[in-house]
Amino acid sequence: MPLFPHRIPNVVHHVRVRDESIGGDNPFKWEMKLTHEIVGREKCIIFALPGAFTPTCSTFQLPDFEELYPRFQKAGIENIFCVSVNDTFVMNKWAEDQGLEHVKVIPDGSGKFTSSIGMDVYKDNLGFGIRSWRYALIVKNFEIEQQFVERGFKHNADDDPYGVSSPQNILAFLEGREYDAGGEALQLNLLDGVGSEDKIG
Give yes or no for residue 197 having a pLDDT over 90. no
**Chain mean position to CA 110:** 14
Report the distance separating Cα 155 and Cα 120, nearest Å.
Answer: 9
- Residue 2 confidence (pLDDT): 35
Which of the residue ranges 26-35, 108-117, 185-194 would you say has the lowest mean pLDDT? 185-194
What are the pLDDT digits (tens) for 111-148? 999 999 999 998 988 888 899 999 999 999 999 999 99
DSSP classification of residue 76? T
pLDDT tier for residue 16 given thresholds of 50, 70 and 90:
confident
Quickly state the pLDDT bin for 25 (edges 50, 70, 90): confident
Alpha carbons 79 and 76: distance in angstroms, whole number? 9
- Taking the CA atoms of 136, 63, 42 and 181 in sequence, report the sign of the dihedral they define: negative
Contact partners, residue 126, CB within 8 Å, separation at least 6: none
> Number of C-alpha atoms within 13 angstroms, CB side, residue 176?
3
Respond yes or no: is residue 44 known to be catalytic.
no
Per DSSP, 58 falls in state I
Its pTM stands at 0.87
pLDDT value at position 140? 96
Q: Which pLDDT score, from 0 to 100, does residue 186 have?
A: 61
**3-state secondary structure string across 122-188:** ECHHHCCCEEECCEEEEEECCEEEEEEECCCCCCCCCCCCCCCCCHHHHHHHHCCCCCCCCCCCCEC
More confident site: 201 or 166: 166
pLDDT tens digits, one per residue of 34-77: 999 999 999 999 999 999 999 888 999 999 999 999 999 999 99
pLDDT of 181 above 80: yes
Q: What sign does the CA torsion over 131, 96, 174, 189 have?
A: positive
Could you tell me which residue, 190 or 171, shows the higher pLDDT? 171
What's residue 6's pLDDT? 84
Q: 134 with 160: CB under 8 angstroms? A: yes
pLDDT over 70 percentage in the chain: 86
Per annotation, catalytic residue among 45, 46, 57, 91? 57
Decide if 31 contacts 49 (C-beta within 8 A): no
Cβ contact 79:37 at 8 Å: no
Least confident of 20-24, 95-99, 152-156: 20-24
Q: What are phi and psi of 31, to 5 degrees?
A: -140, 145
**Rounded (10°) CA dihedral 70, 74, 77, 79:** 30
Q: Label residue 104 by pLDDT band (50, 70, 90).
A: very high
